[in-house]
């Protein structure tokens, strides 16, 4: 409580800009150690607005006017609150507190570590086993006679940002792994992301080679050879460098770069041109501005959209995923994906490819598993990218936002192929930023272990699973999955839209909007009830073989 000088202010005016609200509501503002809470005076509604401190991205204080002192709260989920506090002194106090709260300095200040609900130990421990990557690797068929686990990285000895358990080609000896890791940026050597059972081709990931203009490394060359050999169906692999070629070339001057095709036999190098985190950061700011425009003309809007470049970047990421998925599913060729450090664009490209290749990742549980694998376990720097702590603003970038948006764009194109709805994606998005759960804390597995997160916080996924009712897409067809196992999206520019649900709360919450999904979900509930009643009525005379049917009905209901 040390940062709270004024815990309660009365007669505060609040406008939730994102809800399209024009007239301010009047009420009382409370500051707690975790939330800013606004309670409306109106005795009929007493509406409460809760804003988690870690969701605040910036607090702006406007010059004081006779009416009082005005604060603008920008949130990481793109909500904007306008707060008018009658007394200037209160305003200064609240501002100071919020500024401090929105920039926590230590992990311990974050909600998931500072706030301890009274839940028992078993429940907490169990929450962390809900998503089990070993099970997922088994599901895709590894280990097998092509891909094996390696102990090389136990205790994070070889690469401190990788998980301790990894899959590598069977022919990759520890010496090859260690040698290759020395030749890769941050030691991130090639390892398995996804194994495609139908074609035996694999998606692998790593960071850029430290090749400079002429450097080479025998072990690294053997490593790529091993990746190729682990796919009996093909005599070459693709190396997908997700950066624009110019950027990759520039990296050579710094002793990094990309694979020289003269040194590596049997590789085909492909650049896909996803821009770096700095370009993406400023692009997102521009699209947020587009979303916040009050009454833009169609021309302003479309210019803003074009000028932000955002959809162009989303398309580039989706195109990268499409390239990888095609190589694996259609050509049966394995792909090694990297960017610079292999934790941003690589994570995007690999996870989009998995979504396209495997219907499992289009389910609620599957998307959790995928994020846990390609993002959390492979050391995507969540705490840096999403500024969990006060730090270098140049490290921040909406990398996972873009992945979630790619999934959303796909779900718009294939409305029956995804088990989850838009709400699920938006909810993941806000949890990535909010730190209410320990799942996304830290920057790699090792850091999380050192923090003893599993003992001190809860995992997000079981909670979302519990709420899956509200995240379910009623149009989902599990059997058909839009008629195809592998999704083949059209990535022509006209297939992309601005993600209104994420960037424009204003439009989303404008009543009364009708949603076919809500209608269908309600209908489905009704029909389940009806079916139940029917079974109940038909229960006489009870026959042996009718009981299992009732059993399944019962299961389907919860």
341 annotated to a ligand binding site: yes
Residue 514 is a binding residue for other proteins (CB under 8 A)? yes
Give the shortest CB-426-to-other proteins separation in angstroms: 16
Query: What is the smallest separation between the CB atom of 482 and other proteins, expressed in angstroms?
Result: 6
Burial status of residue 167 (CB atoms within 10 A of its CB: 0-12, 13-18, 19 or more): buried
Distance of CA 113 to the CA centre of its chain: 21
Q: Of the candidates 510, 543, 554, 557, which one interacts with other proteins according to CB under 8 A?
A: 510
Rounded Cα distance between 186 and 346, Å, is: 14
Under rule CB under 8 A, residue 22 binds other proteins: no
Cβ closest to other proteins, residue 368 vs residue 506: 506
Could you say whether residue 557 binds other proteins (CB under 8 A)?
no
Q: Compute CA distances 256 → 176, 182, 345, whole Å.
A: 19, 12, 17
> For the chain, how are helix, strand and coil distributed in percent, rounded to 5?
45, 15, 40
- Quick one: which of 91, 216, 195 has its CA closest to 145? 195
Note whether 513 binds other proteins by CB under 8 A.
yes
Query: Per DSSP, what are the bridge partners of residue 148?
Result: 168
The CA-to-CA distance between both ends of the chain, in Å, stands at 42
Provide the 3-class DSSP secondary structure of residue 309.
Answer: coil
Q: What is the H or E stretch that residue 394 is in?
A: none
Residue nearer to other proteins on the CB measure, 24 or 495: 495
Residue from 492, 548, 552, 558 touching other proteins (CB under 8 A): that is: 492
Binding of residue 556 to other proteins (CB under 8 A): no
Vertex 385 angle, CA 135 and 164, to 5°: 35
Only segment of 222-230, 342-350, 431-439, 476-484 that touches other proteins (CB under 8 A)? 476-484
Catalytic residue flag (residue 339):
yes
Q: Could you give the CA distance from residue 32 to residue 126 in angstroms, rounded to a whole number?
A: 30
Binding of other proteins by 485 (CB under 8 A): no
CA atoms within 13 A on the CB side of 502: 25
Tell me which of 383, 498, 502, 505 binds other proteins, using CB under 8 A: 498
The reply, when asked if residue 277 is annotated as ligand binding, is yes
Map the footprint of other proteins across residues 383-422, applying CB under 8 A.
413-416
CB closer to other proteins out of 485 and 510: 510
Among 286, 312, 449, 550, binds other proteins (CB under 8 A): 312
Examine residue 242 and tell whether it contacts other proteins (CB under 8 A). no
C-beta separation of 334 from 203 below 8 A: yes
Contact between 523 and other proteins per CB under 8 A: yes
Closest distance to other proteins from the beta carbon of 474 (Å): 7
Compute the least distance from the CB of residue 61 to other proteins, in Å: 29
Phi and psi (nearest 5°) for 87?
A: -95, 130
Residue 214 touches other proteins, criterion: CB under 8 A: no
Please identify which residue in 50, 115, 213, 303 interacts with other proteins, judged by CB under 8 A: 303
Contact (CB, 8 A) for 314 and 402: yes
d(CA 297, CA 66): 34
119 lies in the binding site for other proteins (CB under 8 A)? no
Contacts of 203 (CB under 8 A, 6+ apart): 192, 193, 194, 195, 196, 324, 328, 334, 335, 337, 350, 353, 354, 357
Is 343 assigned to a binding site?
yes
244 binds other proteins (CB under 8 A): no
Residue 276 among known ligand-binding residues = yes
Residues 110, 424, 319, CA angle at the centre, nearest 5°?
105
Q: Pick from 105, 155, 306, 450: which binds other proteins (CB under 8 A)? A: 306
Is there binding between residue 309 and other proteins (CB under 8 A)? Answer: yes
Considering beta carbons, is residue 51 or 280 the nearer one to other proteins? Answer: 280
Residues 270-299 that bind other proteins (CB under 8 A): 291, 295-299
Q: Is 190:336 a contact under the CB 8 Å cutoff?
A: yes
CB 471 within 8 A of CB 464: yes
Catalytic residue among 112, 159, 204, 339: 339
Considering the complex, what minimum distance in angstroms separates the CB of residue 318 from other proteins?
A: 11
Do 197 and 354 form a contact (C-beta atoms < 8 A)?
no
Residue 500 binds to other proteins (criterion: CB under 8 A): yes
The binding site for other proteins (CB under 8 A) comprises 291, 295-303, 305-306, 309, 311-312, 315, 413-416, 474-475, 477, 482-483, 490-498, 500, 504, 506-507, 510, 512-516, 519-520, 523-524, 526-527, 530-531, 534
Catalytic residue numbers?
Answer: 339
Q: Mark the binding-site residues for substrate, compressed into ranges.
A: 276-277, 339-345
């Amino acid at each position: 409580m040390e940062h709270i000088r004024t815990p309660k202010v009365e007669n505060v005016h609040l406008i939730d800009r994102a809800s399209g609200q024009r007239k301010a509501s009047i009420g009382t503002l409370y500051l707690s150690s975790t939330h800013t809470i606004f309670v409306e005076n109106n005795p009929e509604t007493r509406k409460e607005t809760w804003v988690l401190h870690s969701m605040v991205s910036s607090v702006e204080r406007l010059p004081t006017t006779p009416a009082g002192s005005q604060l603008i709260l920008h949130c990481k989920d793109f909500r904007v609150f306008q707060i008018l506090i009658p007394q200037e002194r209160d305003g200064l106090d609240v501002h100071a507190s919020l500024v401090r709260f929105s920039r926590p300095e230590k992990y311990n200040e974050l909600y998931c570590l500072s706030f301890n609900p009274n839940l028992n130990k078993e429940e907490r421990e169990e929450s962390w086993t809900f998503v089990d990557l070993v099970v997922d690797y088994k599901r895709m068929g590894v280990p097998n006679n092509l891909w094996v686990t390696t102990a090389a990285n136990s205790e994070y000895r070889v690469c401190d940002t990788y998980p301790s358990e990894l899959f590598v080609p069977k022919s990759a000896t520890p010496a090859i792994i260690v040698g290759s890791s020395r030749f890769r940026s941050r030691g991130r050597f090639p390892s398995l992301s996804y194994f495609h059972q139908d074609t035996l081709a694999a998606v692998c990931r790593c960071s850029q080679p430290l090749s400079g203009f002429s450097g080479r490394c025998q072990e690294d060359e053997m490593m790529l050879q091993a990746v190729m050999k682990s796919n009996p169906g093909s005599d070459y692999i693709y190396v997908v460098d997700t950066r624009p070629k110019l950027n990759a070339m520039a990296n050579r001057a710094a002793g990094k770069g990309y694979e020289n095709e003269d040194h590596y036999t049997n590789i085909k190098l492909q650049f896909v041109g996803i821009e770096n985190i700095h370009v993406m950061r400023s692009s997102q700011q521009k699209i947020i501005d587009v979303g916040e425009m009050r009454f833009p003309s169609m021309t302003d809007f479309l210019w803003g959209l074009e000028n932000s470049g955002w959809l162009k970047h989303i398309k580039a990421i989706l195109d990268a995923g499409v390239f990888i998925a095609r190589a694996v599913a259609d050509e049966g060729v394995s792909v090694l994906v990297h960017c610079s450090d292999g934790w941003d664009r690589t994570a995007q490209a690999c996870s989009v490819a998995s979504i396209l290749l495997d219907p499992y990742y289009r389910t609620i549980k599957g998307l959790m598993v995928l994020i846990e694998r390609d993002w959390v376990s492979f050391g995507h720097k969540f705490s840096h990218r999403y500024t969990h702590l006060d730090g270098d603003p140049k490290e921040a970038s909406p990398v996972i936002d873009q992945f979630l948006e790619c999934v959303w764009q796909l779900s718009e194109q294939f409305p029956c192929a995804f088990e989850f709805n838009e709400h699920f994606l938006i909810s993941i998005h806000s949890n990535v930023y909010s730190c209410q759960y320990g799942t996304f804390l830290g920057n790699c597995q090792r850091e999380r272990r050192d923090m003893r997160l599993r003992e001190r916080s809860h995992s997000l996924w079981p909670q979302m699973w519990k709420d899956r009712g509200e995240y379910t897409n009623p149009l989902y067809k599990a059997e058909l999955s839009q008629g195809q196992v592998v999704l083949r999206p059209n990535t022509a520019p006209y297939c992309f839209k601005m993600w209104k649900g994420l960037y424009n709360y204003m439009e989303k919450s404008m009543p009364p909007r009708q949603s076919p999904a809500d209608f269908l979900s309600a209908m489905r509930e009704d029909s389940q009830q009806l079916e139940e009643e029917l079974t109940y009525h038909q229960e006489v005379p009870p026959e042996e073989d009718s009981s299992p049917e009732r059993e399944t009905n019962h299961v389907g209901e919860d």
